[in-house]
Amino acid sequence: MEAADITLVKGNLKSVATALALSRATLRTIKQNLFWAFAYNVILIPTAILSPLIPWLRDNAPIFAAAAMALSSVTVVSNSLRLRRFGRSAQR
């Protein structure tokens, strides 16, 4: 079991296909999260740095920067939570 790539706990061979599909979905989600976090930060970090120079953000620059980083984290976590639906659809 320690050296195996996949270990069957139950005698159902369909679990192997489900595990492979879940691993592909997980890798796809990781790549999406990396892309969106990188794109989001490339746009919003310079905006947060320059926010004291933007007239309508000048007074709220720290709030804008904090909200931008929080929104980035929420986006990544929300995208990852979509994998929970994978387990429900595989059980049907």
Q: Is residue 41 predicted with pLDDT exceeding 60?
A: yes
CA distance linking residue 3 with residue 5, whole number of Å: 7
Determine if the pTM surpasses 0.75.
Answer: no
Q: How many CA atoms are closer than 13 Å to the CA of 37, on its beta-carbon side?
A: 15
31-39 average pLDDT score: 90
Contacts of 76 (CB under 8 A, 6+ apart): 33, 36, 37
pLDDT tier at 90 (50, 70, 90 boundaries)? low
Helix, strand, coil shares, percent, the chain, to 5: 80, 0, 20
Category of 12 on φ-ψ map: left (φ > 0), alpha (ψ -120 to 50) or beta: beta
74-92 average pLDDT score: 81
pLDDT in tens, 1-33: 888 888 888 888 888 888 889 999 999 999 999
Q: Provide the 10 A C-beta neighbour count for residue 1.
A: 6
